Amino acid sequence: MHKAALAVVALLAAVGLSSCSQAKDAAKETATDAACSLATSVVDETSGQAGQAIDEIGADPRSAQRELKGIRNALATAEKGLSGDVKKQIADARGAVDDLLGQARSAAEGADVDMQAVSRARGKFDDAIDGVRNLC
């Protein structure tokens, strides 16, 4: 009888641990879904705006600066609520926007736009955006 009681206790403990593990997995999945929802939302919002701002760097650098600052701020805010690979991709996108912002700032001060630097930064931004979409 004593062995049977121990077996029942061991079985209940195993079921309890399994349920705990399932709850942990569900919590992780919910957190990942929330992070992806946030990241996807900011990516969808900023990707079109970035394209317009990039196109304006040479023609209207001050306008491009304003737009790029808004995009950078949105990415930085989102980055604070993320972790892992998704956070890295958002940080990479923000870094590319910082590069573009530097080009817009220089153009606003009268310098020629370095189209190669703009192209590289646009590529980095696009790669980071694609990275978020692939992860989520």
Express each pLDDT in 81-131 by its tens digit.
898 999 999 999 999 999 999 999 999 999 999 999 999 999 999 999 999
Domain regions of the chain by residue span: 33-135
CATH number belonging to domain 33-135: 1.20.120
pTM: 0.76
> For residue 42, what pLDDT is reported?
94
The DSSP string of 85-126 is: HHHHHHHHHHHHHHHHHHHHHHHHTTPPP-HHHHHHHHHHHH
What's the pLDDT band for 11 if we cut at 50, 70, 90?
very low
> For residue 52, what pLDDT is reported?
94
